[in-house]
Amino acid sequence: MTLDFSRDKPIYSQLVDRICGDILKGKLLLGDRLPSVREYAVETGVNVNTVQRVYKELEAMDLTETKRGQGTFITTNEERIVELREDMKNLLAQNFLTSIEALGFSREEMLVVLHKKS
């Protein structure tokens, strides 16, 4: 695999985003086991410590449960996933609107651009 990471954001943060995306898109289901830290490190071409930080963040977000000696698993709390979906959607929308305002664009002209981009 060996993913390509953006330079303008910490790698661990980008990996958290990626996994959140996989959860929301249904690529990862409730109770699914994530790769071990060592496996995922090799897959993504990243250091084990960085993966460890990713898993720690996910657990702090209540998105995973870690069982020492067994692995890290997606939470079985479906409500949390629904909540995550809403939170991410609102965050995305809010950031978009904030950026628009910061640069002085009108909402209307942005909608036009969004519509153009297939």
Partner DNA sequence: CATAGTGTACTAGACACATATTACACTATG
Partner DNA sequence: CATAGTGTAATATGTGTCTAGTACACTATG
End-to-end CA distance of the chain: 29
**For helices 78-103 and 107-116, what crossing angle results, to 10°?**
110
Alpha helices in the chain (DSSP H): 11-24, 37-44, 48-60, 78-103, 107-116
Binding mask 15-54 for its own copies (x = CB under 8 A): --xx-xx--xxx----------------------------
- Binding site partner of 48, from its own copies, DNA, none, Cβ cut-off 5-8 A by kind: DNA
Q: How far is the CB of 92 from its own copies (least distance, A)?
A: 6
What's the number of CA atoms in the CB half-sphere (13 Å) around residue 92?
Answer: 8
Using CB under 8 A, count the residues that bind its own copies. 31
Q: Which residues bind its own copies (CB under 8 A)?
A: 8-9, 13, 17-18, 20-21, 24-26, 88-90, 92-94, 96-97, 99-100, 102-105, 107, 109-111, 113-114, 117
